[in-house]
Structure 1
Amino acid sequence: MITTLRATLKGGWTLTRGFGAFLGLGLIGPIRYISRLLFRFVLVHLYRWYLVVKNRLSDFFSPARNKFVFVLTKKGVAHVIIILITVTVIIANTRISALRAETLGQNMIISDLVPADLDEEVIETIDQPAQKPISYLDEFSSVSPKSTATAIVDDAAQVAITETSGAVVKPTLTTTTSPNLVTRRVQYYIVEGGDTVSTIAEKFDISTNTLLWENRLGERDFIKPGQQLTILPSDGVSHQVGKGDTISSVAKKYGVSEDSILEYNQLVDASAIDVSQILLIPGGKPPAPPPTPVPTRLAGTQFASGPIPAGAPAVSGANLLWPTSGHKINQYFRYRHTGVDIEGDYSSPIWAAQNGTVEYVSYQTYGYGYHIIINHGGGLKTLYGHASKIFVTPGQQVSKGQTIAMVGTTGRSTGTHLHFEVIVSGSKTNPLSYY
């Protein structure tokens, strides 16, 4: 075989030489070198390993040298093996019993570890009242006893016989509840079309004032579909505990007793409150706004001299006139901010919103600064604060649109603006309700 291989390679070498002559004498040298390397280091070693493997396999599979292979070469051995496999499968199938749905899993290990009680009919009675958490708000919660409930199974109505010896039982639970259990949960309501403050208050059995107070709304404020309102469980107000607050101070602030706060919020004692906790004050009313400052005596130097800017363009109608030339609102009417702040500068005039009489003009180093209050009659008044110049005096009659002052930043103010308030029968309302 070596001779044959050499002859083959020699023939290939001859062809290579001829092909090299065809391509050119420049390629003959490299091709000859590569061919020698392939023959010496690849082909010779591959052929050597081929002979070794062939001899080993011949020794193993030779029946004369291997007894195991010799036995397998006997006639009929393969038939015997097939028959044994067939008999084993038949015996295994005859030992398998029918598996029903109701016995599924009963012969498994898990069925021995966890005893089944699906066929038992159980009647349970709760002897002790469970404690049911009720969330008042996000910041606090309390518990109230849940009434005793008894699970009763009606055998005639609830037991269904199956095709096998099993039965399916679906108990009916009859729960008794206490009719005197009052919900103390704060709810949230999304305003729908046609809703009014009074109809929503009636729906939740609370007063209109409670709904207005909790949602920082004025009597003339509008509600819109899609607006979310906070609904207290009963008449009163809510209070967020601040630093230094006590049950006594909170009760005094809203005009209720300490015991009513403790009982309604289910507090153990007066010390069981935390900062930022929300308390529900049943029957409470928000504290009255601070009284309007008493007018002080004015010095002549506080009034502006010189030409007064022209008034607003003539506007007819009973509605209030927008009190200045600017229309950008920096702060809106809300709890503890009893008016609107309208942006302006020192050149912006302040106009009387309606015909009336200047009730008083005052200057303070805090609060409203230079400010004017005009009485329009019928319980309606308007206040103009933080002015830089004043052009009217107490008792003076003014007309709608008349320039009464200039925008400024006197008193407690950050930046030039007009603080505008509308007062109806002593209560400060949202000025935007009039526009």
Structure 2
Amino acid sequence: MKHNYIFNLGKHQIAVKFSRKRGRPGKSLVYRLDEFISQLISLAADKRYSGQPISRALRYVFENKQIKKTLGFNLAMITLLAGMVIPPISAFNPTQPVETAMVVAADEALVTEKSVRVPLDSFEISQGYNGLHRGIDLNEIEGAPIYPLMEGKVERVFYARFSYGNHIIINHGSGFKSLYAHLAKIVVKEGDEVDKNTVIGTVGHTGWATGSHLHLEVYDNGRTFNPLTILK
């Protein structure tokens, strides 16, 4: 016997087809599906468990040997449904940031209460912000001065041959930090107080850089967001 069902889950509409052997006792398919989805959502939202919500839900699916027997439908369909139902993680706890690197609109209100400046006098954006590139790249000639986005304290100074190369992290308070990478020269030290007019270093291509540019990252309580949302 075949059954076709359509479920409305927030903005998503899912059409699912099931087949059921005659004479097989048990709860209805709709009831079992609803029960299963509710269990996944509860597991994903439970803060007592470690790991990201989606990982917890899918780990439960793949590690439970009784799922196929209990639910009576293909495991691949379960995974598909979990992926479509679980992603709006912010719905579980809307007051907490999502556990992924993304542009957060609220961050603009955080940092624009104080004036923010661009870190270079002139530049061209050569690469933007995305999930694999957690900042923006600003092309400028080597040796051009670099300024902090706003006042703060130099938290860390690094001299490295790889990755970010020579780079600086500045703590601006209230969980907001900025990172400046691939510098040719660093002219501040850890603990220094800086403002928007302080030269902290110069543009270079140290570390993993193919040309002279400034790689800029900004953080709100440890999570990156797009610097262009605050640069005016």
Structure-to-structure mapping, 1:10-409, within 5 angstroms: 128-130=1-3, 143-145=16-18, 254-260=55-61, 266-267=74-75, 280=83, 283=86, 318-409=114-205
Cα distance, 1:337 vs structure 2 = 1.4
For the Cα contact (< 8 Å) 1:371–1:387, is it kept in 2? Answer: yes
- Check the 8 A contact 2:143/2:184 in 1, yes or no: no
Counterpart of 1:258, as a letter, is R
Report the CA distance shift for 1:252/1:360 in structure 2 as closer, same or farther (over 3 A).
same
Greater relative contact order (CA < 8 Å, ≥ 6 in sequence): 2
The TM-score normalised by the length of structure 1 is: 0.34
Secondary structure at the aligned position of 2:229 is classed as helix
Whether 1:410 and 2:218 are equivalent positions in the alignment is no
How big is the shift at 1:329? 1.1
Task: Give percent identity, aligned residues only.
Answer: 30
Question: Structure 1 residues 377, 410: CA separation in 2 closer, same or farther (over 3 Å shift)?
Answer: same
Q: Give the SS at the match of 2:178.
A: strand
Cα-to-partner distance string for 1:380-414 (whole Å, 9 max, x where unaligned): 11110111111101011111132111111111222
CA-CA distance at 1:350 after TM superposition: 0.8
Mapped contact 2:2–2:17 kept (Cα < 8 A): no
* Count of residue correspondences: 178
The amino acid that maps onto 1:362 is F
Q: Is the 8 A contact 1:261 1:282 kept in 2?
A: no
- In 2: Cα distance, 1:407 partner to 1:266 partner: 56
SS at match of 1:280: helix
Q: Is the 8 A contact 1:351 1:400 kept in 2?
A: yes
**1:324 touches 1:348 (CA, 8 Å); kept in 2?**
yes
SS in 1 for 2:228: helix
User: 1:330 touches 1:342 (CA, 8 Å); kept in 2?
Assistant: yes
Aligned amino acid, residue 151 of structure 2: N
Change (3 A) 1:381 1:251: closer
Cα 1:261–1:430 change in 2 (3 A) is: farther
> Which is higher, the Rg of structure 1 or of structure 2?
1
8 Å contact kept, 1:321–1:401? no
Distance in 2, Cα, partners of 1:348 & 1:373:
19
Distance 1:266 1:331 in 2: 43
Q: Where does the alignment leave 5 or more consecutive residues of structure 1 unmatched?
A: 1-127, 135-140, 148-177, 183-234, 237-249, 290-316
Q: How far apart in 2 are the matches of 1:395 and 1:328? A: 31
Q: Which has the higher strand share?
A: 2
Q: How far does residue 144 in structure 1 lie from its aligned partner after superposition?
A: 2.3
Higher share of residues assigned helix: 1
Residues 338, 266 of structure 1: alpha-carbon distance in 2 compared, 3 angstrom cutoff: farther
Please list every run of 5 or more consecutive structure 2 residues that lacks an aligned counterpart in the other structure.
8-13, 21-29, 35-42, 45-50, 90-97, 102-112
- Contact 2:4/2:15 (8 A) holds in 1: no
Matching residue of 1:431: 227
Question: Aligned Cα RMSD in Å?
Answer: 4.4
Give the TM-score normalised by the residue count of structure 2.
Answer: 0.60
Q: How far apart, CA to CA, are the structure 2 residues paired with 1:390 and 1:283?
A: 45
Further displaced range: 259-268 or 323-332: 259-268
What's the CA shift string for 1:272-298, capped at 9, x where partnerless?
x9xxx9982764778677xxxxxxxxx
